[in-house]
Amino acid sequence: MQALSFAVHIPLVCFGIAFPAIVLYVEWLWLRTGDPVYRTLAERWTRVMVTLFAVGVITGTILSFEMGLLWPAFTGTFGGVFGLGFAIEGFSFFMEAIFIGIYAYGWRRLPRWWHFASGIPIVITGFTGSLMVIAVNGWMNHPTGFVMHNGRATHVDPLQALFVNPYFWHELVHMYVAGYLVTGFVVASVYAVARLRGKTDRYHATALAIPLTIAALAAPVQVLVGDWSARDVATMQPTKLAAFEGLARTTRAAPVHVLGWYQPDGRIVWGVKIPKLLSTLAFHDPNAVVRGLDAVPARDRPPVNGVRLAFQTMVGIGTLLALLGVVFVILRWRRGQLPEHPMFLGAVALAGPLSVVALIAGWVTTELGRQPWVVYGVMRTSAAVTGAGGIPVGYGALVVVYLGTYLGLAWTLRRLARAPLGGH
Amino acid sequence: MHLDVWPLAFVLAGLVLYVVLGGADFGAGFWQLFAGRGAKADAIRDHAHDSMAPVWEANHVWLVFVLTVTWTAYPEALASIASTLAVPLFIAAIGIIFRGATYAMRGGATARREQLLVDSVFGVSSILTPFALGAAVGGIASLRVPTGNASGDLLTSWFNATGITIGILAVGVSAYLAAIYLTADAQRHGQAELVELFRRRALGAGVVTGAAAAASIVVLRFDAHRLFDRLLLGSPVAAVAVSAVAGLATLALVAGRRYELARYAAPVAVAAIVVGWGLAQRPLMLRDLTVSQAAASRSTLIAVIVAVVGGGVLLFPSLALLFRLVLGGRLAHGAVAEEAPERVERPSRTTLAFRAAVAFAIAGVGLLTVAEAPWAHGLGVAALFGFVVAGVVAVDPAGLARRS
Ligand code: HDD
Ligand code: HEM
Ligand code: HEM
């Protein structure tokens, strides 16, 4: 149930992270050039942003409930360690909500530079809000800042637990870039479809070019950051890395298998083997020793194929998106124009949904790869779960409600898209 | 005060603000639901929506604040509450989803029929949510939540006389508060007809809620002895008295058409009763858990207090700004429209930016991917960020769109 809620919440969150900055960029273009196209676009996107934010608020509130409802032992034991992060997150969202109110309803009503300035806190709080959640997740993956004593967490130092945590930084950066990637490609894919349907006026061209440029540049960066994440995982959660790669036994000069399926006997069938690549990527040394799944007893291993599939999906899509980004930049320099080819536009239209898939797959990789632990090496998932009955009923209800929410959201966005341009 | 009560004080303060501000949101939904049909009803629904729209999100976050601070400072208590009271909390969560979804959808609803449907769903969930939250509070106040993972009764812990009473009271208070605020807003905008409509509603809701509050005392007498004894026979009775006086005063102010004053008197009534509850329940948090037993470690408590105070320093000025703009009508329909800036052509500096982007990219790869030290990784991330920024300038998407 938690996973379902995350899957609903996280794509929305990407818009909370990246959309305010993109809208502000467009508004800034308006302020600098006085060209009304930019204002129309920024106002339009503001309304979309508010709608998405409102749904982000609800799904996030549900998550805070669920944390208490589903994981009482987890929150009960460790709330003191990481709850601080959520408390600060709460403040961030508060500030974000306040300034989104001012910004959204201040269009044409506040002096224009004041209006622009009221958008800046939204960008900052979108960042700090996600920062705090990621700090918590980083801590779950690499718990520090406390001592376990008879099943209770003692000597708690929340600051150290959350911010002096070596696992936190790559997750933060990777997620942040993912936010821009998802927002950029999803928005661009909407306008790519519009362009394929013949809407080639200046308004639609601008609405396509801006998010596409941002996402195209962020995509190659994401590959580099992802590689950094993998190196951190290699040193801090070797079992997770072994699951990524289906590496059964601790191996010197370990290979990478692209695609394929992990067999219970530890072999990978139908995969393409690239010798020594894993050792090189993970430790910058083609002959380094990589720890395999056999380093821990079977009951401490995550479900290998699930993790592997998720990981390969993310990396595969990430590579494709980066390629698309490079193609875009090359075409732009060769022709000096927005690429027109239907193949290219079709690829952009696909990139939006694919980036969301990569996002979810990435979180599945992290979370499923950490199993059977909720708090890595300290508390098992089975020990954290609630004792209350009726979870399946609640689960069904939640699925229905979320579906309804998404349908309603889709309907509203379509309505907003059809509203006349420039009007209110 | 002892260190471990400070966060509780923050939680209670957050609860008061949630009841006063978030409650008004719920109440607005209540009036939308019972507006009836026809042009007058449409005016009521629109007024209720427009008044709340800019502040809806901010009002709502108080609940998140209450949950997260409780969770951090009293983790064991929150875990017990959340598991035993899972049912009402789940109902509240569903209500919140529907409220938020319909709130977001109203922007897209243009036809009256659609708006009516959206407002009805909004209204129903606006009653369900405060009722469920109130019932959960009733479960805590009547000490029916024991410590431990779902160790209380899942149904009777909240579905009992006290829970139901407090749930109804929560709905009533919400409706009452909303009616007062909406009257004051209508007066501010000079909409005389709406003023009368909401004034009548405020008076009606005030009388009903006052009667319910009086009745709840009887319920507590039979259903929650400890609370009754300590609330009405001990020193907290002063708080109850303050609450009663303030409640009656708001009614008198509304009757005398002093709506702005009523707006500020109403929160006093709510705050007083919450303070009284806190004092009466002291030192217990749950049936078998005192506040100091529930409290997290010292360093966590200090961190929470610092975070709340530090956050408050940023938060309250921002909140004041929002409310000043809203109450000053600066965010309302038809406020000053300001003129557009001059049109100017600006040359783009793509070549320079292109070189900068390339330089940043090389630095980024070197520092993040090849180098191993953590500080190098930090610089590498900064360089890649620079790459994206310089790259956007170099690609010049706005110029591209103009040329295509
Ligand atoms: C649009 C999304 C997206 C894309 C294109 C990529 N990733 Fe990713 N990845 C995420 C979105 C994401 C994520 C959802 O944001 C995760 C989940 C946890 C985290 O920190 O980021 C993640 C986690 C994650 C992890 C696990 C980190 C951990 O457990 O702490 C690794 C090793 C990678 N990624 C590696 C890569 C590589 C090598 C990629 C490129 C080829 C890549 N990712 C593309
Ligand atoms: C345990 C997990 C989580 C909880 C309890 C949680 C809680 C919340 C809450 C309560 C809100 C609404 C805040 C408001 O009322 O304004 C929210 C929104 C948000 N959350 Fe989460 N969240 C979680 C996971 C995440 C993750 C993983 C991220 C980012 C990576 C994230 C980033 C955000 C952002 C940026 C928003 C702003 C909403 C928007 O702009 O759409 N959250 N979250
Ligand atoms: C902070 C408290 C968190 C807890 C207690 C928690 C716990 C868990 C557990 C136990 C699972 C496995 C459930 C299952 O196997 O079905 C899971 C899955 C998942 N979590 Fe977390 N997690 C937390 C934070 C996060 C955060 C911050 C994110 C991301 C933003 C996240 C994203 C996910 C996702 C996407 C899955 C799905 C993986 C799957 O398919 O199994 N979680 N989480």
Average pLDDT (A270-278) is: 60
Residue B349 pLDDT = 63
**Best-predicted range by mean pLDDT among A58-62, A244-248, A288-292, A330-334?**
A330-334
- B318/A99 touch (CB, cutoff 8 Å), yes or no: yes
Q: Which helix H or strand E contains A128, and what residues bound it?
A: helix A112-141
- Asked if residue B268 has pLDDT above 50, the reply is yes
Of the given ranges (A207-211, A241-245, B38-42, B63-67), which has the lowest mean pLDDT?
Answer: A241-245
ipTM of this predicted complex?
A: 0.71
- A412/B397 touch (CB, cutoff 8 Å), yes or no: no
How far apart, in whole angstroms, are the C-alpha atoms of residue A103 and residue A91?
18
**Any CB–CB contact under 8 A between A156 and chain B?**
yes
Nearest-CB residue to B68 (from A59, A69, A83): A83
User: B56-73 vs A36-70: helix axis angle to the nearest 10?
Assistant: 30
The B residues from 375 to 404 touching A (CB cutoff 8 Å) are 377-378, 381, 384, 387-388, 391-392, 395, 397-398, 400-404
The A residues from 237 to 276 touching B (CB cutoff 8 Å) are none
Contacts of B145 (CB under 8 A, 6+ apart): B80, B81, B84, B85, B139, B152, B157, B286, B287
- Asked if residue A424 has pLDDT above 50, the reply is no
Percent of chain B scoring above 70 in pLDDT: 79
Mean pLDDT of chain A: 73
Average pLDDT (A379-403) is: 59
* For the CA of A362, the nearest ligand: 1
Average pLDDT (B262-291) is: 78
Question: Comparing B101 with A329, which gets the higher pLDDT?
Answer: A329
- Asked if residue A278 has pLDDT above 70, the reply is no
Nearest-CB residue to B311 (from A30, A66, A88): A88
**Best-predicted range by mean pLDDT among A63-72, A135-144, B31-40, B214-223?**
B214-223
- Asked if residue A3 has pLDDT above 80, the reply is no
- Ligand 3 contacts CB of residue A379 (under 6 A): no
Least Cα separation, residue A249 to chain B (angstroms): 26
How far apart, in whole angstroms, are the C-alpha atoms of residue A140 and residue A162?
10
Question: Comparing B171 with A172, which gets the higher pLDDT?
Answer: B171
Mean pLDDT of chain B: 76
- Number of A/B CB contacts below 8 angstroms equals 346
Name the closest-CA residue to atom 13, ligand 3.
Answer: A3
Average pLDDT (A222-243) is: 75
- A55/B101 touch (CB, cutoff 8 Å), yes or no: yes
For strand A261-262 and strand A373-375, is the pairing parallel, antiparallel, or unpaired?
Answer: unpaired
Structure tokens given for B319: 């909140």
- Asked if residue A422 has pLDDT above 50, the reply is no
- Asked if residue B342 has pLDDT above 80, the reply is no
Question: Comparing A156 with B140, which gets the higher pLDDT?
Answer: B140
Residue B348 pLDDT = 60
Question: Comparing A194 with A406, which gets the higher pLDDT?
Answer: A194
**Best-predicted range by mean pLDDT among A40-54, B56-70, B91-105, B310-324?**
A40-54
Percent of chain B scoring above 90 in pLDDT: 0
* For the CA of A49, the nearest ligand: 2
Name the pLDDT band for A197 (thresholds 50, 70, 90).
confident
Name the closest-CA residue to atom 5, ligand 2.
Answer: A64
Number of helices and strands (H, E) in chain A? Answer: 13, 10
pTM: predicted TM-score of the whole model, two decimal places: 0.75
Best residue in B56, B63, B66, B68 for a mutation probing chain A (most A CBs within 10 Å): B68
pLDDT in tens, B349-372: 667 777 777 767 776 666 666 666
Ligand 2 atom having least distance to the Cα of A64: 5
Least Cα separation, residue B200 to chain A (angstroms): 30
Percent of chain A scoring above 90 in pLDDT: 0
Least Cα separation, residue A406 to chain B (angstroms): 9
Question: Comparing A147 with B78, which gets the higher pLDDT?
Answer: B78
Least Cα separation, residue B255 to chain A (angstroms): 32
Name the pLDDT band for A373 (thresholds 50, 70, 90).
low
Residue A339 pLDDT = 76
Average pLDDT (A241-267) is: 64
Q: Is the CB of residue A87 less than 8 Å from the CB of residue B304?
A: yes
Chain A neighbors of B314, CB-CB under 8 A: 91, 95
**Best-predicted range by mean pLDDT among A407-411, B314-318, B344-348?**
B314-318
Residue A348 pLDDT = 84
Q: Is the CB of residue A96 less than 8 Å from the CB of residue A57?
A: no
Name the closest-CA residue to atom 36, ligand 1.
Answer: A226
